[in-house]
Amino acid sequence: MSRGNKQGHKQGKAMKYQVIASLNIDGTVQRKDVIGAIMGQTEGLLGDELELRKLQRTARVGHVDVEMDSNKGKMSGTIIIPSSMDNVETAIIGSALETIDRIGPCKAVIKVTEIQDVRKTKRNSVVDRAKELLLELVASGEAASKTVIEEVRSVLTTQKLTSFHGLTCGPNIESSDSLIIMEGRNDVANVINFGIKNAIACDGAGNMKQELIDLANGKETVIAAIDGDRGGEMLLREMYGQMKVDFVAQAPVGQEWELLPQKTVTKCLSMKEPASKVIARLEKSDDDGAPSEESSEAEVPESVIELVDHLDGLKNNQAVLVYLDGTCSEPIGPKSLEEQANDADGAVAIVLNGPLSQRTLEIASEAAIQTVLGTGEGKGYKKLDDVESWITTDFQ
């Protein structure tokens, strides 16, 4: 609750508008998955000036607020993004949200229901008409918002990508003895840039094509490359029950294949595990009735164990931010952690040489940092749904 009060006070003086959007998801995901999709799938879409992470750092856009409810395996909710920009820029941010069509392994539909004028002026009819005109302008000028590098890269990727019964894939999926099955098109588009040409997208859970099943069943080796979240594990369960799956390569906790650099892609594939072992571990976790991280005897992900190395050289209560490529920041004192976490671009973990307090987890949640590692439990420590928290004493 402290997060909401603090941020609301911080944003209340400057924010002019609120982008309010409805959210419908064909499956079950977490709040961090939604925020990750918003940040990841709009990145590079609108050019450098309207990059969401940069807009947040300069307080032109506030923290993304997501409220969701689950019903019969599907989720619906509301996304609220405060904005201190003018109505033109705010409308563009709203239109960018509607381009997101998948969150984790699940199909999603985001629709902007209104851009609310926080100052409550009497210009509602003008704003409504302006939104329509701006959305048409953005749609017609989308290509102009891309950088030259992005345009060239997209052409090269498109030339290498092909299709197998409507599923995006690399050119070697039929000729190769092995097959890598990934969640979506963006995952395949990423790894093909690193020379991996035998990957194919399954287009998420609940949509396994018979042609894909037949293709997998005819291969010598099949690897399921899943994201490092619950959605990835759900997708694995479905694949394992319908087709041949020999090995599982999982992205680091909270990360997705479409955003991994080449070094991490290669490492994850080299560390693949037998599928039967991964499924057995998931079933054991289900039987225990609680997440495996709650138990002192839990099997800790390799990516979390690797974070322990970053404790070396840290003084008491100092922390570092760990980035997607495995590098880390300079040591950060307790007073500076919140500011630097919010300003960090691409941080995926906080490693703290000290006890984890509730406030530390809230800082990670506010900054959309998925993982936190500490050396003990501190004041008010209680796990949050959207942050993976680990204590070194649980597994050392």
Question: Mapping DSSP to helix (H, G, I), strand (E, B) and coil, where does residue 299 land?
Answer: coil
Q: Of the ranges 140-144, 171-175, 298-302, 364-368, which one carries the lowest mean pLDDT score?
A: 140-144
User: Is the model's pLDDT at 45 over the cut of 60?
Assistant: yes
Rg (CA), the chain: 22
Q: What is the model's pLDDT at position 262? A: 84
Question: Mapping DSSP to helix (H, G, I), strand (E, B) and coil, where does residue 290 land?
Answer: coil
What the block records as the tokens of 58 is 């300069």
Distance CA 274, CA 262 (A): 23
Q: What is the model's pLDDT at position 11? A: 41
Q: What is the model's pLDDT at position 2? A: 35
Q: What is the model's pLDDT at position 293? A: 42
What is the pLDDT confidence band of residue 396, given thresholds at 50, 70 and 90?
low
User: Is the model's pLDDT at 205 over the cut of 70?
Assistant: no
Task: Indicate the average pLDDT of the chain.
Answer: 81
> Is residue 334 within a helix (H) or strand (E), and if so which, with residue range?
none
Angle between helices 185-192 and 148-160 (to 10 degrees): 100
Q: What is the model's pLDDT at position 263? A: 80
Q: What is the pLDDT of residues 328-350, one digit of tens each?
A: 899 999 889 998 888 887 788 89
* E-state strands within the chain: 17-25, 65-71, 74-83, 102-103, 106-117, 162-164, 167-169, 178-182, 199-201, 221-226, 247-250, 273-274, 319-323, 347-352, 355-356, 371-374, 376-377, 388-391
Q: What is the model's pLDDT at position 211? A: 93
Average pLDDT, integer, range 48-61: 82
Cβ atoms of 246 and 223 within 8 Å: the answer is yes
- 54-82 burial code (b ≥16 CB/10 A, e <16): ebbeeebbbbbbbebeeeeeebebebebb
174 CB contacts (<8 Å, ≥6 apart)? 164, 215
Q: What is the model's pLDDT at position 253? A: 83
Q: What is the model's pLDDT at position 121? A: 52
User: Is the model's pLDDT at 155 over the cut of 80?
Assistant: no
User: Is the model's pLDDT at 152 over the cut of 80?
Assistant: no
First and final C-alpha spacing in the chain? 33
Q: What is the model's pLDDT at position 15? A: 72
Average pLDDT, integer, range 216-224: 93
DSSP 309: G
Give the residue, 60 or 165, on which the prediction is more confident.
165
What is the pLDDT confidence band of residue 244, given thresholds at 50, 70 and 90?
very high
Strands 371-374 and 388-391, how do they pair? parallel
Average pLDDT, integer, range 61-90: 88
Q: Of the ranges 67-71, 149-153, 352-356, which one carries the lowest mean pLDDT score?
A: 149-153
Q: What is the model's pLDDT at position 291? A: 45
Distance CA 67, CA 77 (A): 5
Question: Mapping DSSP to helix (H, G, I), strand (E, B) and coil, where does residue 352 land?
Answer: strand
Provide the greatest CA pair distance for the chain.
67
Average pLDDT, integer, range 227-238: 88
User: Is the model's pLDDT at 4 over the cut of 50?
Assistant: no
What is the pLDDT confidence band of residue 303, given thresholds at 50, 70 and 90?
confident
Cβ atoms of 357 and 377 within 8 Å: the answer is no
User: Is the model's pLDDT at 153 over the cut of 60?
Assistant: no
Q: Edge to edge, what strands does the sheet with 347-352 contain? A: 319-323, 347-352, 371-374, 388-391
What the block records as the tokens of 29 is 């995901």
Average pLDDT, integer, range 95-121: 86
List the domains of the chain with CATH numbers: 2-146 (3.30.70), 150-288 (3.40.1360.10), 294-394 (3.40.140.10)
Average pLDDT, integer, range 346-362: 89
User: Is the model's pLDDT at 132 over the cut of 80?
Assistant: no
